[in-house]
Amino acid sequence: MIRRNARPDDDHFGKVNGLGGKLEPDEGILASLRRELDEETGLILDDIALRGTITWTNFGPKDEDWMGFIFLVTAWTGTPPEGNEEGTLEWIDRSRLLQACDPDAAVRKAADLPMWAGDRHFVPLVFDDDPRAFHGTMPYDGDQPKDWIYDRL
């Protein structure tokens, strides 16, 4: 994961996020994933699973509308650097990440991972045992999610 601590003007500054980015013109989803993770970590992805899709509306300080493809990478080649232009790269134990998503505020606080509030809703779905991908929508009001609705196929 990346701790976005490099640029104070970053809309995600101070948050811990999964890695990724935006599509380039005429670029496919998997090609974008491979390019973004190569740019951000230098890793070559060997095993990838689509875990879900999410639409976010009115998200963040610019009230943007985004669509995200959420992948789980389970095998890779290479060694990542300590960081990149967006922040510090960190290996975060899965149990700590899931603890940060726990509905109990005291348990969440103990994990000490500053995340977007909405991430706490879908991150557990990335790691659960259900093989079906989730497809959700999460309308935001600036920095706070208003709802989380998803289905699985």
pLDDT (0 to 100) of residue 14: 94
Virtual torsion, Cα 43, 47, 53, 57, nearest 10 deg: -10
pLDDT (0 to 100) of residue 25: 97
19-28 tens-digit pLDDT? 999 999 999 9
Interatomic CA distance for residues 133 and 63, integer angstroms: 27
DSSP 88: E
| Numbers of helices and strands, H then E, in the chain | 4, 9
Interatomic CA distance for residues 68 and 46, integer angstroms: 21
48-106 tens-digit pLDDT? 999 999 999 999 888 999 999 999 999 999 999 999 999 999 999 999 999 999 999 88
Q: Which of 113, 88, 87 is nearest to 98 (CA)?
A: 113
Interatomic CA distance for residues 124 and 71, integer angstroms: 13
Interatomic CA distance for residues 148 and 35, integer angstroms: 29
E-strand ranges in the chain read 2-3, 16-17, 44-59, 64-77, 83-84, 87-89, 134-142, 144-145, 149-152
Residue 63: other Cβ atoms inside 10 A = 11
Domains with residue ranges and CATH for the chain: 2-145 (3.90.79.10)
Question: Residue 46: CB partners within 8 Å, gap ≥ 6?
Answer: 75, 76, 77
4-16 tens-digit pLDDT? 999 999 989 999 9
